Structure 1
Amino acid sequence: MEDLTMKAIWHGQVIADSDRTLEVGGYRYFPRETVRMDLLHLTPKTENDLKCPHGVQFYDVAGDGARSPRAAWSYEAPRAAMKPVDHWIGFWEDVEVT
């Protein structure tokens, strides 16, 4: 784990803040307890999601009338290299990680 404080910012609000993030595969992951899970909404799994060997679950990020589809995800059954971020949350698209 890196002890560099990172934030995930969406529409001007901090939705994740942690000094225990990990970078895996070019993406920064946040421990679930550091994420505003009230702003994440489960999305139905697509055929491609079901093919993912890590058991991916995507989330829409939504609040105050705004929505960013599938802008967050976590791995529910990660294998090998993804094991350290088991059930942690990654972000992309409209979410800025700094």
Structure 2
Amino acid sequence: MQAIWNDKVIAESKETVIVEGNHYFPAATVNKDYLTPSDTTSFCGWKGDCSYYNVVVEGKENPDAAWYYADPYERAEKIRGHIAFWKGVEVKETNS
């Protein structure tokens, strides 16, 4: 799977975790050069507290387009250390 925005591959992994239709990429497979911290947070009743990153490519910013659960609840433990994308970031299968 790949996460692409503004024609750049932000993340690529053969092993994502799918939760509620979203692909969570292992953090090690995400190019952190394209992420900047966001002050935005949210809460999910079964996953816990959520934090966000802005996706920035060639000077263009997509606010809060990546999210993660730093300390997920036990029932969502499988997404610990993973990052997911939305807001126009294309997540698709690779041909390789």
* Length-normalised TM-score, structure 1: 0.84
Report the AA paired with residue 78 of structure 2. P
2:65 to 71, 76, 80: 71
- Cα deviation, residue 21, structure 1: 0.6
Equivalent position amino acid for 1:76 in 2: A
| Root mean square deviation of aligned Cα | 1.4
Q: Which amino acid in structure 1 is aligned with residue 61 of structure 2?
A: R
How far 1:15 moved relative to its partner? 0.7
Unaligned runs of 5+ in 2: none
Q: Secondary structure at the match of 1:77?
A: coil
Correspondent of 1:45 among 36, 40, 54: 40
How do 1:6-45 residues align onto structure 2 when only pairs under 5 Å count?
Answer: 6-45=1-40
- Tell me the percent identity: 39
| Distance (Å, rounded) in 2 between the aligned partners of 1:35 and 1:26 | 19
Alignment of 1:77-88 (within 5 A): 77-88=71-82
Q: How many residues align?
A: 90
Cα offset for 1:87? 2.4
More helix by share: 1
TM (norm. structure 2) is 0.85
Equivalent position of 1:94 in the other structure? 88
- C-alpha displacement of 1:52: 4.3
Q: Tell me, what secondary structure is at the counterpart of 2:39? A: coil
